Each structure stands twice: as structure tokens, then as C-alpha cells.
A and B are shown apart, each in its own frame.
Chain A
């Protein structure tokens, strides 16, 4: 550890000043715009924003999809992580590689695949018509379900990877001990595995939840203007209506939700560990 403070500042300041100028200052100005009025400060923009049924609908939908994607990815993630942790070392490495692979591929490319699958002439509709369940193509694209599926595929790897590392760090004999003492699988999960892997779940949950809230590509491609989420609504307000005040309100809601989720989940992770 070196003690020279001036030297330390010279090294660290360029990065900090750069991030502050490019990220912090403009964002603060955008957020302030939502509270300004010709005469002073006001919450009028917020009142106006929430009085529009469409805006409320989009807010609720974004929140709902965020929760749903987080919960479902946690359930699938636990099952998958559990199966992977019990593989041989080589198999485990290969599975982790295959799960991480999609994270490196452009989200536009990954989301675009669902158009081929869910479109009017897509695989699902072809199959439904072939087995006679439906006479004409069903609309699957531009529905909440399509956006949900796209988000789940985008974020499931993050949840699974954090649960794998949490399960790996858990003492292996804990499960065996609980089984020997007569716990059933449900009790083992609820009383042993969940508390011991809580931190991994919280890390994965934060990534998935905030990622879903702030998703743009998935709702843009799979939801279109029929299934708007907060980011696509923001983009539409600016490009279609030049409505920068609503954009500022949406920006504030997005940032507030992300920070709240970060804080809340961090507290959940530490609260249990103190006991």
C-alpha cells in the first residue's frame, strides 16, 4: 500500500472525471428536466404522466415482466445448476461454456431467432396447423408472452451461472445430513439449499430483474408498439412526440427502480447471514 495521496489522485481522477462528465452530469440534467416548470420546481410532469392509462399500463407491465422473468429463471436456474454441479469436472466445464456462449452473442441476433420461431409462418404455427390444433396462424409475436420468452432466454444464463457458483461453494454434506435426519426434498431445498445459496440467488436476481426492466431490444423486436415496455415507451415518446418531459419521468422511474432493486436485494442477502 503506497501512501502518496497526490499520486493516487493523479492516477484515478482522469477516469472518474471522464465518467462523471459523460455519464453523471448529463443524466442528472435529464432527470432534473422532469421537475422543472417555467416558475420553479414541480411534480406536475409526474402527475400528468401517471394520469395517462397507457403509461400506467406500461409501468405495471414492465414491473410484472421483470418479476416473472426473475422468478421463472430462478426456478429453472436452480434445477439446471443442481444438475450441472453434480456432473463430472469435464462435463461441468463444457456445460458452463455452453451456457456462457449466448452471453457473447449479439442480443439482436439472439432475439431475432424468435421471429423465425414465433412468426406467422414460424415453426410453432406450422406445427400447430400440421397437427390440426389450429386452422389459421395464431398471433404469437407482439404479445407479452413473446417478450417474456425472449427476456427469459436472454437472462437465464446469468441466473444459472450465479446459482452454479453458489451451489459449488455450499458444503456438500449439508444436503446429505439433512436427508439422513429425515428431511424430504422440499424441506432440504427450503431449509438448507435456499439459505446457503441466498447470496448467489440475490446476485443473479439483481442482474435478471434490472436487466429485464431496462431491456430495449427484446420488447422492440418481439413486442413492437403493441407491447411497450418502459424503454421502448421512452424511445417512442422522444422520436414520435418530441416529449422530453415524459422521457425524463420514465428515466427517473427506471433509475429509481434499478437502485431500489439493488439496495433491497443487497439487504435481503445480508439480513439472513447475520442470523
Chain B
């Protein structure tokens, strides 16, 4: 393709992908009462307001707990499974792999509905715990996938050598394998955190009094109110994501794993 055409395409692509986000940031700095672009004067009042809305605070904490705790539990389940898949001749390995990666293929809204209808309601099971388990299962495929690729890139003779030299299998794993896949685990954690934090469909049906994730809360807030506070919150969340990705890229070359 020629030299004038390519920059035009790339400029158009970036305007389409990034432009709306810049507009949101600008709209959130408006001094006016309604959501408009260009903003009516500049102020930080909507950014400040975000921090005073109680439901945003509660749902932010909820989403944080789900994203951090759920990803942590998913790693506890996923790391051993990934190890078994890459180091052992696992009977029914294909089946295990399929079941573990199922949450990527099955639409989340169906899982939320299923848990609500057949777990929460009949057994008066806590919605919060159901939501937590659903988020864990949702993140599980990503942790297994990312950590598996770390295991596959690590030669297995290292731990075999450690065992031959007298280490126990468990000792070899913690002293030899784990230190070598640290960055893979951190990458899996970040990917899992972002996936869980931004997730909507799984949480749609699993909401109740006091149990609500931040994206769900934003959706219901924007149904009733048309002020720039959701824009301000969106801008803050986007900055948080950009910060996380920037740090991850800086310290571990995150994009290798995604």
C-alpha cells in the first residue's frame, strides 16, 4: 500500500478506538449539570462527586474483593492444574482442559441465571458467595492458559535435577519451579483482575441488597441519572486500567503473555 494511504488509515483507526475515550474524559471535566461535549466550562466537581456517591463506593469495594479474591482462588486452583497439564501424562487431559476452559465459551449471563435459579434460590445460598464463585470460575481459564505457557517455556530437567539431587517433589516445585514462573503468575493475576473487574453478564442476575458490582451499579445509575458522574467514574476506571497495564508492561513485558 502507498505512503499517504497508510497514515490516513491508522489515524482514522486511532480516532475511532481512542477518540470516544478522550471525549468521555473531557465531558467528565464539565462544570455543567448535564452530559455534553464540548464541556460547559472546566471543573473537577464531577470527579469529586464520584467519591461521595455511597453506592459507587460500596460496589467498588465489592468489585475489588471479587477481582482480587476470585483471581487469587483461581490461581490456587489453576496453577496445580496447569502444572498437571504440562508435566504429566494426565488421564483424560483433553476433557480436563475443555472443562476448565469452558467459562470462556459459555456466555456468562447463562451461568449467572443458572446459579441464581438452581443454587441461590433453592438452597437459600448467599448471593455474595455465588457471585464470588462465579467470578473465580470465570477467571480460571485465563490463569490456566497463561501459567501453562510459563510451564511449557520452562525446561522440566530443572526440577528433575533437583529431585535427583535429593529434593522432595514439593520442595523442587517451591524452590525451583515457582521462582521461575513468578512473572507468568503475576501476568495471570493482572489479566484475571481486569477480566473480573470489567465483567458484566455473569453478575447481572447475581445482584441483591448490598451485593452489586461496580459495572452493574454504573449501568443502573445511568438509567436514572444523566449527569457527568458516570463519565467521571469511567475516566477514573480507565486511568486505573491504563496505570496497571503500564506498570505491568514496564516490569514484566506483559504483552508477551496476552
A residues sitting closer than 8 Å to B (CB atoms) are 1-5, 7-9, 11-16, 18-20, 22-24, 26-27, 29-30, 76, 79-80, 82-84, 86, 95-102, 104-110, 112-117, 119, 121-123, 153, 156-157, 160, 210, 214, 216-217, 220-221, 231, 234-235, 238, 244, 247, 251, 254-255, 258-259, 262
Contacts and interface: CB of A to CB of B under 8 A. Distances in A.
B156 interface: yes
B16 interface: yes
Given A1-B156, A22-B137, A112 B230 contact: yes
Contact of B9 (A79, A98, A244): A79
Nearest to A161: B258
A82 to B, nearest CB: 6
Interface string B115-138: 101110000000000000110110
Q: Which 6 A-B pairs have the closest CB atoms?
A: A26-B114, A109-B234, A113-B20, A8-B88, A15-B81, A83-B6
Given A22-B111, A83-B9, A217-B215, 8 more contacts: A2-B88, A80-B13, A104-B242, A106-B197, A112-B222, A114-B20, A115-B222, A231-B201
Contact of A22 (B84, B91, B134): B134
Interface of B: 1, 5-7, 9-10, 13-14, 16-18, 20-21, 23-24, 27, 34-37, 77-78, 80-81, 83-85, 87-91, 93, 95-96, 99-100, 102-103, 105-111, 113-115, 117-119, 133-134, 136-137, 140, 144, 156, 169, 194, 197-198, 200-201, 204-205, 215, 218-219, 222, 230-231, 233-235, 237-238, 241-242, 244-245, 249, 255, 258
Contacts of A22: 111, 115, 133-134, 136-137
Which of B10, B215, B245 has the most chain A CB atoms closer than 10 A to its own CB? B10
Contacts of B218: 108, 112
Given A14-B81, A22-B136, A156-B17, A9 B91 contact: yes
Contacts of B110: 27, 30, 234, 251, 254-255
Nearest to A1: B89
A244 B113 CA distance: 9
Contact of B114 (A29, A116, A160): A29
Given A83-B10, A105-B238, A113-B23, A15 B115 contact: no
Nearest to A160: B13
Given A19-B140, A83-B1, A109-B234, A26 B99 contact: no
Contacts of A112: 24, 218, 222, 230-231, 234
Contacts of A16: 81, 95-96, 99-100
Nearest to A109: B234
Contacts of B137: 18-19, 22-23
A83 B9 CA distance: 8
B107 A23 contact: no
Contacts of A1: 87-89, 156
A156 B10 CA distance: 13
Nearest to A108: B215
Contact of A82 (B1, B34, B89, B105): B1
B100 A19 contact: yes
Contacts of B102: 19, 23-24
A27 B106 contact: yes
A105 B241 contact: yes
A104 B23 CA distance: 18
B113 A11 contact: no
B89 A3 contact: yes
A106 B237 contact: yes
B18 A102 contact: yes
A209 to B, nearest CB: 13
Contacts of A105: 21, 198, 237-238, 241-242
A259 B107 CA distance: 11
Nearest to B156: A1
B20 A153 contact: yes
Contact of B85 (A12, A106, A153): A12
Contacts of A27: 106, 110-111, 114
Contact of A26 (B81, B118, B204, B219): B118
A102 B6 CA distance: 21
